[in-house]
Structure 1
Amino acid sequence: MASELCKTISVARLEKHKNLFLNYRNLHHFPLELLKDEGLQHLERLYMKRNSLTTLPENLAQKLPNLVELYLHSNNIVVVPEAIGSLVKLQCLDLSDNALEIVCPEIGRLRALRHLRLANNQLQFLPPEVGDLKELQTLDISTNRLLALPERLHLCLSLQYLTVDRNRLWCVPRHLCQLPSLNELSMAGNRLASLPVDLGRSRELQYVYVDNNVQLKGLPSYLYNKVIGCNGRLYSLTHTPWSSARRQATILNTEDAVSGCGIPIQLSEVRLLTFSSGQLTVFLPAEVKAIGTENDHVLPLQELTMRSLYRTYHRLWKDLNFLSPISLPRSLLELLHCPLGHCHRCSEPMFTFVYPKLFPLRETPMAGLHQRRTSIGFVAYCCSTQCLRTFNLLC
């Protein structure tokens, strides 16, 4: 086996091969023949998958200076050494299915790197220097032990595909919403309880997978026209409003106070949930009472505020023009005129957060167009957990 390996490397050196395949060779050490003399100066792609390597040589960049792609999938490598940072031409690095516990900060020196795969390892954190990878397009760090993502990850301006499935993340950093090129975000199988309200604002982000996050109850309403993965299935969150007649029937009288799901609340509650300033009286959402309790999920304050302003502007004071453009910022005023969506059950306006309810549908003539599936799912929006619990698609 050793003689055959040496022969393969010798032929590659003599014939100046650009690709070298050393997969399934039962290698426990990096072949010395690769590092002999001047190394393989012309080699661009090195495949060493499914061996038993535990480390990489310090002079790797010196002997393989033109390496563009390095595939080390399914080995026993524990540490990404500092020497990796000297492979300045490297564009693709695959270290999936190893025993990685540490990724050295020097990985940030791989300024040409476009694809980085670190799935199925033992990583508890990534160095912040990952944010220096300006050309990075694909980052797969699924099936690790990550508790958080690098703070500077949002500086990877070329990042298009981010996969962080099956880790221990409990939140999504809001600065990820700033990634201008992100097209697909997969965070299934974590411990997420909420998502940033800005997630989905970018037009580039089209696919979001948050399957198997058991504590996740609501989704940002910016995802209403995206494709999300939930419980292992794909759903297109296109907004499907009720008919205008049905919606009109759900609008309450201007003198009625309403809760977060559009249901009238008792007069005693109104007195407790209002504040006045001159001739203006604003009814606060009933969910305010739930703050501090364990059983009810409270919407973000921004969402509660927007809904309260919406009701005040459109139902109480629109004719009097009390809330003039001078009273509110222009961006806020425009948002009040046009919410991102309305609740399917009660037509409550929604601005930053929604609660999806998934309804599997039977076979339809159009279902075959959706990735050859025989059935599709319909996603209805609710505006609160109370509305979600009482929603009935057939009502």
Structure 2
Amino acid sequence: MASELHETIFIAKKERHKNLFLNYRNLNHFPVEMLKDQGLQFLERLYMKRNSLTMLPDNLAQKLPNLIELYLHSNNIVIIPEAIGNLARLQSLDLSSNALQLLCPEVGRLRSLRHLRLSNNQLKSLPPEIGNLQVLETLDVSMNQLASLPDRLHRCSSLQHLSADHNLLSRVPRHLCYLARLTQLSMAANRLTCLPLDLGGSRELQFVFVDNNLDLKGLPSYLYNKVIGCSGCGVSKRPRQQSQDEVLNEALSGLLAEVKMVASEADQVVPLEELAMRTLHRLYDRQRRQSTGHSALLTSGHVAKKKEKDFDCIFPDGKSPPAAPLPKSLLDLLQFPLGHCHRCTQAMFTVIYPKLFPMRHTALAGVHRRTTVSFVAYCCSSRCLRTFKLQG
């Protein structure tokens, strides 16, 4: 077996192979023949599935500098070296079914990485540096021990598929709603109690898997017709028939702590704090657009005039307020509101007006009869609450 392995690597060096298959070789250590002299400078894809590797060499990037794909599925790797960040061309890294307990921050230096698969490990957290992976398209962290996802994950602006099934997640970072290219989100078998108000607002997001989250009783109405699999969610602990108010209260349990008030159709006056935040958000949004070179969209024709009128009542001279430093917590809130009205898209910060649509009224009725999950619309005012209708 050793001689056969030696010959395979020797031929790969001699003939400058771009692909090398070392699957099912019962390897306990990374072959030293691959790291001798200049290494395998031409190698682009290395497959080492189902071996017994426990670690990777520190000089991997030095000896295999042109790696594009590294496939290490089903080994016993506990930790990956910091030098992994030197694989500048790496586009796909598969470490599924290993024994990883920690993911080093240097993974965030893999700026060419498009696919990162870490399922079936022992990870309890992910480094925030993952947010530096701007071209990442696929992230699979299913079957780990994650209690949270990094808030900076929303910086992975190219992310399309996110799988986090079978973890210990109790919440979904609301910043994920700003992943404009996300098409599929899978968070089955976790401990979710609610989902972000805006989740599903993007047209790109088409599939959301939330099976077996026992405390998840209400889904944002944006997810209507986008949810695949609700069985095992919102399982009622009491067999008795519940009233509409009780169902709504259960659906709203676990809402974001920042929601200070759950209003109703009778509450027609929006609190002053909320009005101030919405006004500040509009000003912030206008300044942000101008600073990023998009002001041309707001300075032509009737659009510009409408925008000017919006601010005349506050700044009659038509000028924006002078730039002033704001606390980071306030800036974060302005950049990422708690949600947007499902009727008119107005940003919301402290107050929501919920409207319940029981499961039997949706297109999923009769498909998942075991679930008590309902859809909830989140509106910005009593007027939007009255006029909102679930589209389907």
Same fold (TM over 0.5): yes
CA contact (8 A) 2:180 2:204 kept: yes
CA contact (8 A) 2:193 2:253 kept: no
Counterpart check, 1:105 vs 2:63: no
CA contact (8 A) 1:49 1:72 kept: yes
* 2: CA distance, partners of 1:145 / 1:93: 20
Who is 1:3 aligned against?
A: 3
Who is 2:263 aligned against?
A: 305
Counterpart check, 1:137 vs 2:137: yes
* Counterpart mapping for 1:75-86 below 5 A: 75-86=75-86
**Superposition deviation, residue 194 in structure 1:** 0.7
Structure 1 residues 299, 9: CA separation in 2 closer, same or farther (over 3 Å shift)? closer
CA contact (8 A) 2:18 2:42 kept: yes
* 1: CA distance, partners of 2:10 / 2:343: 72
**Superposition deviation, residue 232 in structure 1:** 7.9
Structure 1 residues 6, 227: CA separation in 2 closer, same or farther (over 3 Å shift)? same
Amino acid at match of 1:177: C
* 2: CA distance, partners of 1:131 / 1:353: 34
Structure 1 residues 382, 225: CA separation in 2 closer, same or farther (over 3 Å shift)? closer
* 1: CA distance, partners of 2:362 / 2:251: 27
Structure with the bigger percentage of strand: 1
* 1: CA distance, partners of 2:138 / 2:179: 13
Structure 1 residues 172, 4: CA separation in 2 closer, same or farther (over 3 Å shift)? same
Q: Identity, % of aligned pairs?
A: 59
Counterpart check, 1:218 vs 2:218: yes
Amino acid at match of 1:152: R
Who is 1:357 aligned against?
A: 359
Structure 1 residues 96, 382: CA separation in 2 closer, same or farther (over 3 Å shift)? closer
* 1: CA distance, partners of 2:96 / 2:78: 11
Who is 2:56 aligned against?
A: 56
Amino acid at match of 1:213: N
Who is 2:280 aligned against?
A: none
Structure 1 residues 310, 206: CA separation in 2 closer, same or farther (over 3 Å shift)? farther
The structure, 1 or 2, with the larger RCO (C-alpha pairs under 8 Å, 6+ apart) is 2
Who is 2:38 aligned against?
A: 38
**Superposition deviation, residue 262 in structure 1:** 8.6
* 1: CA distance, partners of 2:76 / 2:342: 56
Who is 1:393 aligned against?
A: none
**Superposition deviation, residue 202 in structure 1:** 1.1
Structure 1 residues 296, 146: CA separation in 2 closer, same or farther (over 3 Å shift)? closer
**Superposition deviation, residue 61 in structure 1:** 0.5
Say which SS state the counterpart of residue 112 (structure 2) adopts.
coil
Q: Deviation string for 1:203-251 (max 9, x for gaps)?
A: 1111111100001100011112424322289xxxxxxxxxxxxxxxxxx
Larger radius of gyration: 1
* 1: CA distance, partners of 2:26 / 2:376: 57
Q: Which residues of structure 2 form unaligned runs of 5+? A: 234-242, 271-308, 314-339, 346-351, 378-392
RMSD: 3.8
**Superposition deviation, residue 92 in structure 1:** 0.1
* 2: CA distance, partners of 1:232 / 1:194: 14
Q: Which residues of structure 1 form unaligned runs of 5+? A: 234-259, 264-285, 313-324, 340-349, 362-374, 385-395
Counterpart check, 1:117 vs 2:117: yes
Structure 1 residues 14, 232: CA separation in 2 closer, same or farther (over 3 Å shift)? farther
* Counterpart mapping for 1:248-263 below 5 A: 261=244
**Superposition deviation, residue 151 in structure 1:** 1.9
Structure 1 residues 207, 359: CA separation in 2 closer, same or farther (over 3 Å shift)? same
* 2: CA distance, partners of 1:337 / 1:38: 62
Who is 1:239 aligned against?
A: none
**Superposition deviation, residue 93 in structure 1:** 0.1
Say which SS state the counterpart of residue 38 (structure 1) adopts.
coil
* 2: CA distance, partners of 1:126 / 1:335: 32
Say which SS state the counterpart of residue 93 (structure 1) adopts.
strand
Q: Deviation string for 1:9-34 (max 9, x for gaps)?
A: 11111111111000000000000011
Who is 2:172 aligned against?
A: 172
* Counterpart mapping for 1:306-345 below 5 A: 307-308=265-266
Q: Please, which moves more after superposition, 149-158 or 112-121?
A: 149-158
**Superposition deviation, residue 383 in structure 1:** 6.0
Amino acid at match of 2:151: E
Counterpart check, 1:186 vs 2:144: no
